[in-house]
Amino acid sequence: MVENQVQNPPAEKVIALSASLLEPFQGHPFRVASGEEMEQLKESIRKYGVLSPLLVRPRGDGRYEIVSGHRRKAACEALGITELPVLVRDKKPFRSMILRSRSVSLVMSSVLMACR
């Protein structure tokens, strides 16, 4: 390979996985709550399907940890949808994403409380 040549990362692909293979990761910072927002999400999925795939990482035992998409999984389960679109990524890059999602959660909680 030429020294200045940039190698493209492998293309990511959305695949369908059984909901039974998906588990939340330990220390998940968000709460999956029922209520009006969940009903709106279920209605959207009923009409349009899951528009954004869940982001998962392999656990090594044939199962996957959900990094992003816990609410979508819960809504699909409530609707009886058993296969979900997922994007599988390697474990390594997620540490910073998890830390960022926790800080985003704190900011969003503050914004929501201020709007009430």
114 vs 81, which has greater pLDDT? 81
The predicted-structure confidence for 11-25, as pLDDT tens digits, reads as follows 678 899 999 999 987
- What is the sign, positive or negative, of the torsion defined by CA atoms of 61, 15, 100, 35? negative
Rg (CA), the chain: 17
Q: Which domains does the chain have, with CATH numbers?
A: 14-115 (3.90.1530.10)
The predicted-structure confidence for 42-100, as pLDDT tens digits, reads as follows 999 999 999 999 999 898 899 999 988 999 999 999 999 999 999 998 766 555 455 55
Residue 53 and residue 75 in contact, taking contact as beta carbons nearer than 8 Å: no
> In this structure, what DSSP letter does residue 10 have?
P
pTM: 0.68
Burial class (CB in 10 A: 0-12, 13-18, 19+), 10: exposed
Q: How confident is the model at residue 33 (pLDDT cuts 50, 70, 90)?
A: confident
CA-nearest of 95, 42, 101 to 73 is 42
